[in-house]
Structure 1
Amino acid sequence: MPYWLMKSEPDELSILDLKRLGRARWDGVRNYQARNFLRSMQVGDLFFFYHSSCPQPGIAGIGRIASAVYPDPTALDPESPYFDAKASSDKNPWSALDVEFAEAFPTLIALPRLRAEPALAELALVQRGSRLSVMPVEPAQWAAILSLR
């Protein structure tokens, strides 16, 4: 089974929000490479839920992919911050999917701790300049991160 890491700003959707909701739509991905990774996901795949753009970024827990991808409705909504004027109902280049809660970690695994782990040196998240919001995680990297909880 492939593993993933997905970033969300906690004021938009946090791991605790997902725990409370049980299931939520993951939308607003506006990078083609991240979108392609999203389109590669299968129902049941697990992902690390990463809190980004906040005072202490890091991995907050685990989620599970709960649906197949579908056209991202936020691209068509002029009121959405993710609106894309070039998108239409016939040609929507953006995708969304549903995710569900799996586990919240007792403490956040902060980005500096992730960067300090030699087994994660090749993880895109710890590479300087990497800003992808969705990325694959190799099984050995997944195990290394789990050992940090």
Structure 2
Amino acid sequence: MNYWLMKSEGDCYPIDQLKKDKVSPWSGVRNYQARNYMKEMDIGDMVLFYHSSSKPTGVYGLAKVVKKAHPDITAFDRRDDHYDERSTQEKPIWECVDVQYVSTFEKPITLDEMKRHGELSAMKLFQKGSRLSVIPVTEKEYNFIISLAKA
């Protein structure tokens, strides 16, 4: 099993919406490295659901991967904000995974709180210039964030 942090803008697709939807494609990712990370995901991989433009920013809960990478159909829809004319059904460029809601934390684990813990200092989230919406986390980092949520 692998562990991931996936960012969503809180006003665009918050964890509460995933809770209502139960399962949703993680669509609209238009960065090659983030796409490649999704291609590495397996069913059962766990996801830290991160709100990137909320006040406060941070991890709000958990999801899990329930469908491996498949073509992101938003790339084919001219009316969608994530349309990409280069991507076709015959030769899709963009892929997504489906994620399932698992839980919402009682309180978010904020970015500031995570930065205060040396155990998380090596997280890709904190690397200079790292703005990816999908990033791997280690099992140790994942478990530490879970422990903060339970504290």
Which TM class, normalised by the smaller chain length?
A: over 0.9
Structure 1 distance, partners of 2:97, 2:12, is 16
The letter for the 2-side match of 1:60 is Y
Listed as ranges, the matches of 1:15-30 within 5 Å are 15-30=15-30
Distance 1:99 1:115 in 2: 26
- Please report the RMSD computed on the Cα atoms of aligned residues, expressed in angstroms: 1.0
Residue by residue, what CA displacement relative to the aligned partner does 1:8-58 show, whole Å, maximum 9, x if unpaired? 112221111111111111101111111010011111111100001223110
State the match for 1:68 in structure 2. Answer: 68
d(CA) in 1 for partners of 2:98 and 2:65? 6
Identity level (%) = 40
Aligned-partner residue type, residue 41 of structure 2? M
Give, in whole Å, the separation in 2 of the partners of 1:61 and 1:137: 15
User: Where do residues 86-105 of structure 1 align in structure 2 (5 Å cutoff)?
Assistant: 86-105=86-105
Letter of the aligned partner of 1:100 in structure 2?
A: Q
2:143 maps to 143
Where do 5+ consecutive residues of structure 1 fail to align? none
Q: How many residues align?
A: 149
Map Cα deviations across residues 56-106 of structure 1 (whole Å, 9 max, x no partner): 110000001011211000111111111111111111110012110111000
- Structure 2 distance, partners of 1:18, 1:88, is 27
Name the TM-score, length of structure 1 as normaliser: 0.96
Structure 1 distance, partners of 2:41, 2:145, is 20
Match of 2:121?
A: 121
Contact 1:114-1:126 within 8 A present in 2 as well? no
Q: Specify the SS of the correspondent of 1:68.
A: strand
1:43 aligns with 2:51: no
Work out whether residues 60 and 108 of structure 2, in 8 Å CA contact, stay in contact via their aligned partners in 1. Answer: yes
1:136, CA displacement in angstroms? Answer: 0.7
Question: Hey, what does 2:12 align to over in structure 1?
Answer: 12
Could you say what secondary structure the match of 2:97 adopts? strand
Shift of 1:147: 1.6
- After TM superposition, where is structure 1 displaced by more than 4 Å over at least 4 residues in a row? none
Indicate the residue corresponding to 1:80 in structure 2: 80
